[in-house]
Structure formats: structure tokens, C-alpha cells
Amino acid sequence: MSLYRIKRYFRRAQYKRQSIFSRWWRRLRWAGYILLILFFVDLFYISLQWPDWKDIGRGAVPQSAFIQLYKQRRQEDKSLPDLRWSPVGRQHIPKHLRRAVIVAEDARFYQHNGFDMDAFQSAMSHNLEIQEFKYGASTISQQTIKNLYLSSSRSPLRKWHELIMTIAMEFNLSKDRILELYLNIAEFGKGIYGVEAASQYYWQLPVSSLQPWQSAQLAACLPSPVKHNPKQGTKQFYKRAKKIIKHVQHYK
């Protein structure tokens, strides 16, 4: 092969490599533009959902997205139980009930800034062991945001919205207020939202009158209140309630 042909061969190979690189670069650049546009569109969507944190921090407890969805479902299906929801102030919720829910759902609630990485790592390790995505590590803060404004979807986009709004809520609201919101919107049975409605339904008592054992039972409803509650009285439910009340006694 002549020197001329060798040079021409290498020039063609180099041109081909540059052409391939150029095509891939254009594709990556356009993908970047699209992702940037989607990012700003999503930020605009979040801005439309963005609450007035001052009102949330001081005003009445709002109806959650889950409560509104249940109301819509009941309009379509009258066989569903009536909605039960009677929000109350933090001063009416016994300290032992607040402690029981923290023990059951988020033991480091007052120590983290919305996300408990230790609990997350433990949950992921256990999921890997059983080879099933069974346990999550959502904090009370994350659950409050999800219930108030989002949905039960596990899509990455919903988790992204949850992340952004949880950070904002932790920055704008006190821990006591976040817990108060959660206790008033958490589900404790089919159509039963909040600790006051749950107390009235299960024991015909205002939540302020609950005893520690009853509080432990309410906490044991979470996170599967339709399946596990004082009415169902499953063995697993009472085992969890006993475990909760035992830990509450040592909680500071």
C-alpha cells in the first residue's frame, strides 16, 4: 500500500471518528436542552402548588389531598364510610399520644431536618436482604407533605416534589407544628383522618381523654390503618401496640 493511500485511510478514519463524536455531542446537547426545559416546567408546576407557609404555620389545619380524594371517591361510591375528620389544636393532643406516634413512625423526628438517613440506610439494607422493596424510611415530615399536597404514587417525579417541599416545610415550620399537622391528617381507618376523629370512632372519647394504652393503639394503626386498627384487633396489631407503649416509657 502506498504512503498516499495510508494517509488517506487514516484521514477517513479520523473524519469518521469526529463525525460520530459530533453526532453524539449534538444528541447530548439536545437532551440537555430538553432536560433543562422540563426542569423549569416542573419548577413552574411546583410554584403553582406552593403553599403560603405563614398560613400553614399559624392557621387552621387544611384538608389534605388525601382527604379531598376520599371525598371525591365517596361521591362516586356511596358504599364507602362517611368521612370523619375533626382537626384539633396541639394543646388538646396528649403528650403520650404524640410520643407514641413519634416512636412508631419516626423516632428521630426532633433530631433530623426532614430526612433520616440512618433509617433510610437500614431500610434499604433490609430490602436488599429480603430482595423486595418492602420497607421505606419516610419521616413524619415527608409523610405530612405527601398527605397534604401530593399523592401515594412512588414515581421519581413525586419523590422529587416531596424532597423539595419537605425541605421548604422544615425551613418554614416548627417541628411541633409539623407534628400537629400530621396528627390531624394521618389516616387511622377507612375514611378516618386525624387523631380526634379516630378517638371518637374507636372509643367515643375526645382525643384529650385518651389513656397511654389507647394512644399506643392509635400509633399502631400506622402505616396500615385499614388493615390494622382497634376494630380489627389483629394479633400483629396488638403486638405492635405493646412494643410502642414499651418504648414510649423510655422516650425523652
Task: Supply the pTM of this predicted model.
Answer: 0.82
Task: Domain ranges for the chain, please list them.
Answer: 1-49, 51-248
- Position 126 scores a pLDDT of 44
Is residue 106 a contact partner of residue 140, using CB atoms and an 8 Å limit? yes
* Residue 155 in grid coordinates: 414515581
* Tens-digit pLDDT profile for residues 21-54: 677 777 787 888 788 887 777 777 777 778 899 9
The CATH topology of domain 51-248 is Penicillin binding protein transpeptidase fold (1.10.3810)
Q: For every one of its 252 residues, what pLDDT tens digit does the chain have, with 9 covering 90 and above?
A: 565 565 565 566 565 666 666 777 777 878 887 888 877 777 777 777 788 999 999 889 999 999 999 999 999 999 999 999 999 999 999 999 999 999 999 999 999 998 887 765 654 554 455 444 444 568 999 999 999 998 888 788 888 899 999 999 999 999 999 999 999 999 999 999 999 999 999 999 999 999 999 999 999 999 899 999 999 989 999 999 999 999 987 765
- Position 19 scores a pLDDT of 66
- Position 30 scores a pLDDT of 81
